[in-house]
Amino acid sequence: MNIADILIDHAFCEQKAATKCITLIVKYPDCDFLVDTLSPVVTEEWGHFQAVLKEMKKRDIQLTHKRKDEYVTQLDKCKRGDGTRYDQLMEDCLVFALIEARSAERFKLLSEHISDQTLSKFYHELMIAEALHYRNFIEIAEQYNPKEKVRRRWEELLVQEAEIMKNLEVREDRFH
C-alpha cells in the first residue's frame, strides 16, 4: 500500500466532493432543503481536503496533478438525461450518494488495515462523515421525488455499478 498515492488521490476526491456540492447549490438555488443540507457539507468536505493536505505535509508528500477518475466517469454515464428537473436532481444525488457510500466503505477498510495509527484514526473519523453525506444525498433526492421512485432508481444504479466494478482495473492507489 503506497500511502503517498492514497493521500494524493484522497485529496482530489475531497476537492471534487466539495465542488460537486457547490455545483448542485448553483444549479438548484431555489431548492431550500438542498441548499440548507449541502452548505455545511461543502465546508466539511473542504475541511477534509485541508486535513488530507496536513497529513501529506507531515509526510513530505506533494500534491500532484489530478487524475481522471474512471469509476466516477462510468457512474456519470449511468445518469438518465431525460425527465423533469427534479428527475435530474435525483440522478445527480443518487450518483453522489453512491460515491460517498463507497468512500465510507474504503475509509473503513483503510482504518482497519493501515499500520499508521494516526491515519487509522483519521480514516475512521472520515468514514463516519462520508456515511452521513451518503444519507444527505438520499434525503435530498427523496425531498424532491417520491421515495419509492428514488428507491427503485437506487436499486437500478447499484446493478449498473456492479457491472462497472467488474470491468475496472483493481488499483491500490485509488479510492474509486
Contacts 24+ apart (CB under 8 A), 157-162: 157/75, 157/78, 157/94, 157/95, 157/98, 158/98, 160/75, 160/78, 161/75, 161/78, 161/98
CA separation, residue 163 to residues 12, 71, 122, 157 (Å): 25, 11, 31, 10
| Cα–Cα dist 52/66, whole Å | 15
Spatial contact of 117 and 49, defined as CB atoms under 8 Å apart = no
Domains with residue ranges and CATH for the chain: 3-62+69-167 (1.20.1260.10)
Stretch 50-71: mean pLDDT: 90
- pLDDT of 165 > 70? The answer is yes
Stretch 147-174: mean pLDDT: 87
The most confident of 1-15, 55-69, 127-141, by mean pLDDT: 127-141
| Cα–Cα dist 133/7, whole Å | 20
Q: Each residue of 39-56: pLDDT tens digit?
A: 999 999 999 999 999 999
pLDDT of residue 176: 46
Poorest-pLDDT segment among 41-45, 68-72, 79-83, 107-111: 68-72
Spatial contact of 140 and 38, defined as CB atoms under 8 Å apart = yes
Stretch 124-132: mean pLDDT: 92
Stretch 58-86: mean pLDDT: 90
| Cα–Cα dist 147/89, whole Å | 14
- pLDDT of 175 > 50? The answer is no
